[in-house]
Amino acid sequence: MSLDNAVWMLTALAAVVVLLTRMRLSSEHAQSGHAVVPLTVVNAHTLIGVVALAVWIYYLTSPSGGIGALALVAWWLEVLVGILILARWFARPGKHAADTTGDSWAEGPSLSILGHVGMLLGIAFFTWVVLADKIAG
């Protein structure tokens, strides 16, 4: 498998993480038992993810150092916001609230940890790809 194919597959996985995070955080507003993330933070997280994805795909289709750097800034901002949201979940796990209802995704934060740690590792790889100029132009 070529490096370009691996980067495209990781890009598709990043898109899935952005979409699933949006869906899960949006559905938590209707649930009890969560430290609810404000909808403005959810919207900002999604918007940054979509922008990062769009700029990154543009970079992959027509590589340029400046566009790659811009994409990395957006990706790292997305990861930072995601990790902060995840940290909030651990810091305030819904004290004085009833048990979580209607969360058919997974019990506890395991799916979120997998997605956000995977995203952190993927963006670290994307950073190496841009800094080492590995995308064929």
Q: How remote is the C-alpha of 57 from its chain's centroid?
A: 15
- Report pLDDT for 14: 93
The pLDDT tens digits for 61-116 are: 998 889 999 999 999 999 999 888 888 777 765 543 444 555 555 566 677 788 88
Residues 6+ apart with CB under 8 A from 23: none
DSSP state at residue 100: P
- CA–CA distance, 106 with 117 (Å, rounded to integer): 16
Q: CB-based contacts of 126: which residues, under 8 Å, 6+ apart?
A: 7, 10, 56, 71, 72, 75
Q: Where are the alpha helices (DSSP H) in 1-137?
A: 3-27, 39-61, 65-91, 110-131
Q: CB under 8 Å to 27, separation ≥6 — which residues?
A: 102, 103
Helices 3-27 & 110-131, crossing angle to 10 degrees? Answer: 140
Model confidence pLDDT, tens digit, residues 1-57: 789 999 999 999 999 988 888 887 776 555 544 556 778 888 899 999 999 999 999
- Predicted confidence at residue 91, as pLDDT, reads 74
Q: What is the pTM of this model?
A: 0.81
pLDDT on residue 30: 53
What pLDDT shows up at residue 27? 67
